[in-house]
Chains A and B, each alone.
Chain A
Amino acid sequence: MSIEIDFRHSLGNATFEVAFNVQRPGITVLFGPSGSGKTTTVNVLAGLLKPRQGRIVLGERIVLDTTRGIFVKPRKRNIGYVFQDARLFPHMTVHENLRFGWKRSGRQADANAFTRIVKLLDIQEVLDRRPSRLSGGERSRVALGRALLCSPVLLLLDEPLAALDMARRAEILPYLERLHVEARLPIIYVTHSLDELSRLADQIVLLNAGRVTRQAAAAELLSDLAFSDLTGISPYGAVIETRIAEQRTADGLTLLAFEGGGLLVPAVDGPIGAILRVRARAEDVLLAREAPLHISANNVLPARVTGIRLGAASQADVQLSCGSARLIARITQASLGRLGIADGQQLFAIVKSVRIDLRGENTQPIVPGCNGIPE
């Protein structure tokens, strides 16, 4: 389902002029500093905020068009919203919270969906508890389940991890990845964490001061030297979509292939052909003029320099392309000069370590009716 949004609104002194569209399912991350309009945008999408001017189309359905006086109420939009502060109903048990949207979704919901979602989010044990007796992580998961169970056509997640400490975040992220894989519905995810961005985003919409400064695929933007100009944050490095090509069980390694290259990583479970996202931070990529012969790193990739950007504090980002993949190596300006690195040059990129995230297609959607078109 495609999503188109275009609105203008002012709140106090701030004005928002936001327009972007989502053509494919997957996670679209709204990324930007506080006050850039991320939450305003999801509130407009959900219908909790009626903008002065605007138009929103979800698939075939126009839910907002101020020129034609169309404003569909939040409860009729079929959008699941996971709030930053979970907002579980304190007077209901987890079970009752989960059933709240499910009962009201007005669809012939598949009875197994409840069990599937409860299982996906690992909340079987806490169904009879009240929200006050849940941990922060459990609360986030229940909020996620509650939103999923109302059979949304679109899921909005407004900094669902912001209220959690680092350990709890690490606990939730795998669920979000599973959700991405299994839910098969478009997700709009608000965050200002580069880690969540690099881990979860398929597409990125950059917001700054109420405007969209850039919309691009995650793999493209996270390895774009212009990222730091747009956000004030150094680009992450590389995000590469790979498939499992070979299991080298004897060495305990897995070969992940992408167009024009491959990476050897510690064994990853999964069938040949399974899609995995591999991330490499710019700090974890080294450069060499000649192919190093005796080196402990497993991954030495021939690569061509496609851009150089001098950063603050004596560092430099070197953008490289290797087949279909794009990498960034963060080195010192001294090394840059010593190696005489120039645009277009052929080099070797040594990838010290990578992070691997679950991706890929699953056979069954977990959300009842999520592929349907709303009435």
Chain B
Amino acid sequence: MSTLPAGWVLTPVEYDALLLSLRIAMAGVLSMMPFALLAAVPLARRRFVGKSFVEGLLLLPLVLPPVVVGYLLLITFGTHEPLGAWLLQHFDLQFAFSWKGAALASGLTTFPLQLRAIRLSLEGVDLRLVEAAETLGAGPLDKFFAITLPLAIPGIISGAITAFAAALGEFGAIITFVSNIPGETQTLPLAIYSALQQPGGEHEAARLATLSALLALAGVMLAQVVDRRIRDRLSS
């Protein structure tokens, strides 16, 4: 590291913000993934009354102002709200002013991205293969875990990576729900915001913005590479 020009090295504060961002985005996306999967199965495979309404509702975080998402989280999971208090009392789980809340906020705003990716990849699974599995003795759950899920994995993973890259950039929902606490909830976008609030912070903001952009680019590229790799392996 010492051979690099001083400007290329991250300061401890920047480094913390980077790690925190990665951790929050990762936790947010992973914790939402099972829910996205559960919601995607009926959307991909079943017809039911009110399907477009349910679908619209689930995609809402994508179009809702992030501040609104943050506000809704605040009035649901705040420590003085019924659900928030209950979670704290029974599971010692506190979202307010905690990195967990930031994860929840970024996971929720990127939930529609995961849902869409999973739904599309489930729809892409050839039903004739599922039918073949059935004639070979596989029941409903068996068919899902042995055939449908493994074949949908490429889409699920690339969807998760895209959601992860997007979650890194979440600002409004996080700052509204869990505030801007360095080392706890201050992710890169919030750090950029803080830097801009300080006189002479433009240089710092530019550094952090570059870091954010590089991270996002890496995420999107990774999603594509992973998708192509797995698809190649599965192609017949």
- A residues in contact (CB < 8 Å) with B: 46-48, 73-75, 77, 79-81, 83, 85, 87-91, 100-101, 104-106, 130-132, 146-147, 150
Is the beta-carbon distance between A131 and B236 smaller than 8 angstroms?
Answer: yes
B window 124-173: CB within 8 A of A? 128-129, 131-139, 142, 146-147, 150-151
CA distance A81 to B132 in the complex (A): 8
In the complex with contacts A88-B236, A104-B142, A132-B235, A83-B128 CB distance below 8 A = yes
A180 vs chain B, min Cβ distance (A): 21
Q: Give the residue of A81, A89, A90 whose beta carbon is less than 8 angstroms from that of B135.
A: A81
CA distance A106 to B142 in the complex (A): 14
B227 vs chain A, min Cβ distance (A): 15
Whether, in the assembled complex, B234 has its beta carbon less than 8 Å from a beta carbon of chain A, the answer is yes
A75 vs chain B, min Cβ distance (A): 5
If over half of B's interface residues share one DSSP class (helix, strand or loop), that class is named, otherwise mixed; here it is: helix
Is the beta-carbon distance between A146 and B131 smaller than 8 angstroms?
Answer: no
In the complex with contacts A104-B142, A132-B236, A89-B133 CB distance below 8 A = yes
Q: 15 A-B pairs, CB-CB below 8 angstroms?
A: A47-B135, A48-B134, A74-B135, A75-B134, A75-B135, A75-B138, A80-B135, A87-B132, A90-B234, A100-B136, A101-B135, A101-B137, A104-B138, A131-B236, A150-B137
B149 vs chain A, min Cβ distance (A): 10
Is the beta-carbon distance between B150 and A101 smaller than 8 angstroms?
Answer: no
Q: Which residues of B contact A101 (CB under 8 A)?
A: 135-137
CA distance A74 to B137 in the complex (A): 8
* Nearest neighbor of A90 in chain B, beta-carbon distance: B236
* Nearest neighbor of B131 in chain A, beta-carbon distance: A48
List the count of A-B residue pairs having beta carbons below 8 Å apart.
65
Q: Give the residue of B128, B136, B234 whose beta carbon is less than 8 angstroms from that of A146.
A: B136
The residue in A100, A105, A131 that gathers the most chain B C-beta atoms within 10 A of its C-beta is A100
CA distance A297 to B109 in the complex (A): 85
Is the beta-carbon distance between B133 and A106 smaller than 8 angstroms?
Answer: no
A44 vs chain B, min Cβ distance (A): 13
CA distance A2 to B132 in the complex (A): 24
* Nearest neighbor of A43 in chain B, beta-carbon distance: B131
Q: Give the residue of A46, A88, A91, A106 whose beta carbon is less than 8 angstroms from that of B137.
A: A106
A234 vs chain B, min Cβ distance (A): 35
Q: Which residues of A contact B135 (CB under 8 A)?
A: 46-48, 74-75, 77, 79-81, 101, 147
CA distance A74 to B146 in the complex (A): 17
Is the beta-carbon distance between B150 and A91 smaller than 8 angstroms?
Answer: yes
B window 192-236: CB within 8 A of A? 233-236
B105 vs chain A, min Cβ distance (A): 35
In the complex with contacts A85-B128, A100-B146, A104-B142, A91-B136 CB distance below 8 A = no
Q: How large is the interface on B (under 10, 10 to 19, 20 to 34, 35 or more residues)?
A: 20 to 34
CA distance A348 to B234 in the complex (A): 61
CA distance A163 to B138 in the complex (A): 26
B window 174-195: CB within 8 A of A? none
Is the beta-carbon distance between B235 and A90 smaller than 8 angstroms?
Answer: yes
Q: Give the residue of A77, A89, A105, A130 whose beta carbon is less than 8 angstroms from that of B129.
A: A89
Is the beta-carbon distance between B234 and A74 smaller than 8 angstroms?
Answer: no
CA distance A206 to B132 in the complex (A): 26
CA distance A247 to B139 in the complex (A): 54
13 further interface pairs, Cβ-Cβ under 8 Å (given A47-B135, A80-B135):
A74-B135, A75-B135, A75-B139, A81-B135, A87-B128, A87-B129, A90-B151, A90-B234, A104-B137, A105-B137, A106-B137, A130-B236, A132-B235
CA distance A310 to B235 in the complex (A): 53
Is the beta-carbon distance between B136 and A150 smaller than 8 angstroms?
Answer: yes
* Nearest neighbor of A46 in chain B, beta-carbon distance: B135
CA distance A188 to B159 in the complex (A): 44
* Nearest neighbor of B143 in chain A, beta-carbon distance: A75
In the complex with contacts A75-B139, A150-B137, A89-B131 CB distance below 8 A = no
Q: Which residues of A contact B131 (CB under 8 A)?
A: 48, 74, 87
Q: Which residues of B contact A75 (CB under 8 A)?
A: 134-139
CA distance A81 to B137 in the complex (A): 11
Q: Which residues of A contact B150 (CB under 8 A)?
A: 91
Lowest 9 A-B CB distances belong to which pairs? A104-B137, A101-B136, A87-B132, A90-B236, A81-B135, A132-B236, A91-B150, A75-B137, A74-B134
B142 vs chain A, min Cβ distance (A): 7
CA distance A110 to B50 in the complex (A): 51
CA distance A77 to B131 in the complex (A): 14
A258 vs chain B, min Cβ distance (A): 39
CA distance A80 to B236 in the complex (A): 23
Q: Which residues of B contact A87 (CB under 8 A)?
A: 128-129, 131-132
CA distance A89 to B125 in the complex (A): 11
* Nearest neighbor of A104 in chain B, beta-carbon distance: B137
* Nearest neighbor of B135 in chain A, beta-carbon distance: A81
A122 vs chain B, min Cβ distance (A): 21
Is the beta-carbon distance between A91 and B138 smaller than 8 angstroms?
Answer: no
Is the beta-carbon distance between B128 and A91 smaller than 8 angstroms?
Answer: no
Q: Which residues of A contact B146 (CB under 8 A)?
A: 100
Q: Which residues of B contact A104 (CB under 8 A)?
A: 136-138, 142
A242 vs chain B, min Cβ distance (A): 37
CA distance A74 to B143 in the complex (A): 13
B34 vs chain A, min Cβ distance (A): 21
Is the beta-carbon distance between B142 and A91 smaller than 8 angstroms?
Answer: no
CA distance A105 to B235 in the complex (A): 28
CA distance A83 to B236 in the complex (A): 16
Q: Give the residue of B132, B134, B139, B151 whose beta carbon is less than 8 angstroms from that of A91.
A: B151
Q: Which residues of B contact A81 (CB under 8 A)?
A: 132, 135
